Amino acid sequence: MLILSFLLGLAFGSFANVLIYRIPKKLSIIYPFSFCPSCRNNIRWYDNIPLVSYVLLNGKCRVCGEGISLVYPTVELLCGLLSVLSYLRFGLPYAVIPFHFLFILVVISMIDIQTTEIPDELSYYLIASGILTSPFNFVVGKETFTRITNSLIGGLSGFVLLLTILIIGQKIFNKPVLGGGDVKLMCGIGCYLGTYAVFKILFLASLIASGYVVFLSIIKRRKLWGQYIQYAPFISVGCAIHLFAFNKLL
């Protein structure tokens, strides 16, 4: 099962790359089929096998010879590992919802890193799917009513908490300290993980982000405090830590 879980994760990782590339460009995620971003030629199925094709092609397009971004195999490998971790942590069938949640966070984080924006459609999808799957989401409670309630209150808590920070930060620093996308993202996270997780994840994300800024300041030997950084990746890491390190399957 571990091998199958990893292979399924790789397949989802390949689809994640499609979403990461096409959603910011407002392209259809269904058609056309996979193509090289450089020469626009369609990629044959045997050149589109997750991880394997990248290695066999030496990281280059077979047609034009242009290099393939390292982001592609990295995302595939990350999704493969998250699939395995979800299976080991929660087992079947409970692992499906946490993995789906983390899969969307991978897509959102990569888009945020590349474009500094979080697409609204992904945040809204996270909110809607979090509420719809809440009756089956054992992460947020034992009883069905508890799961649904925790999902709804968690989504509201995430939205209100981040919106409050956004408004207060704007008044204190006279500039945005968070983006509107972060507010909607935390709302979706609350729908999946519940109220308690929202506060824990915000603390973890802030702690990791602060460490990242300090590390970069040391490396680059200049002050980076107050500069804009993409926050979605740190929130996503906080979610993964919560699910795999702290959360207990109820």
- In residues, how long is the chain? 250
Examine residue 100 and state whether it is found in any structural domain, yes or no. no
Contact yes or no for 231/179 (Cβ under 8 A): yes
| Closest to 191 measured CA to CA, from 249, 245, 241, 125 | 125
Locate tokens 């090289």: which residue? 36
**Domain tally, the chain:** 2
Residues 80 and 128 in one domain: no
Q: For every one of its 250 residues, what pLDDT tens digit does the chain have, with 9 covering 90 and above?
A: 888 999 999 999 999 999 999 999 888 888 878 887 877 788 887 778 888 888 888 888 887 878 888 999 999 999 999 999 999 999 888 899 999 999 999 999 999 999 989 999 999 999 999 999 999 988 877 788 889 999 999 999 999 999 998 888 778 777 766 778 889 999 999 999 998 899 999 999 989 988 888 887 777 665 555 566 788 999 999 999 999 986 554 3
Among 63, 92, 121, residue at a domain's last position: 92
3-state helix, strand, coil in the chain (%, to 5): 70, 0, 30
pTM: 0.90
Tell me, what DSSP letter sits at residue 95?
T
Residues 144 and 205 in one domain: yes
3-state secondary structure of 42: strand
Q: How far apart are CA 65 and CA 79, in angstroms?
A: 27
Residues 122 and 244 in one domain: yes
Locate tokens 């990295």: which residue? 74
Examine residue 103 and state whether it is found in any structural domain, yes or no. no
Contact yes or no for 79/110 (Cβ under 8 A): no
Q: What residue numbers bound the domain in which 221 lies?
A: 110-250
CB-CB neighbours of 105 under 10 Å: 25
Contact yes or no for 130/192 (Cβ under 8 A): yes
Residues 73 and 152 in one domain: no
Residues 152 and 249 in one domain: yes
Instruction: Considering only CA atoms, give the Rg of the chain.
Output: 19
